[in-house]
Amino acid sequence: MADYLVKKGVSFRAAHEATGKLVTYAVKKGKSLKDLTLTEYRKFSPEFDKDVYEITVESSVTARDNTGGTAYKQVAKQIAAAKRKLKDSVCDCDEEH
């Protein structure tokens, strides 16, 4: 949600605060974010629009496609690098240390 608001021109600090308040509100109401009305969203930021309902976990994860990010491609790179490092660090137990 914070990234969504930032893309709409809201500062990250304000977006983070609005998102936190929005999530707290949803929890107190016993609703998921998808269950909130647009009017409810707009209580926390007037920048929310109908496209907020298009946000999914997958779209959020995929959006972070930079080094160290959560996009599947980036995670695969990090796993491959970790496997190479692990393979390179495996010792030959027959050698003396």
**Taking all residues of the chain, what is their mean pLDDT, rounded to a whole number?**
86
CATH (one of 3.30.70.360, 3.40.50.2000, 1.10.40.30, 1.10.10.410) for 2-55: 1.10.40.30
Token pair of 30 as six digits: 């016993």
Scan for tokens 């990234």, then name that residue: 3
Q: What is the pLDDT of residue 61?
A: 66
Among residues 66, 88, 62, 63, the alpha carbon closest in space to that of 77 is found at 66
Tell me whether residue 61 is exposed, middle or buried, using C-beta atoms within 10 angstroms of its C-beta: 0 to 12, 13 to 18, 19 or more: middle
Query: Which among 35-44, 56-65, 78-87 has the top mean pLDDT?
Result: 35-44
For the segment 29-44, the average pLDDT, to the nearest whole number, is: 96
pLDDT of residue 95: 54
* Residues in contact with 48: Cβ distance below 8 Å, sequence separation at least 6, in sequence order: 5, 38, 41, 42
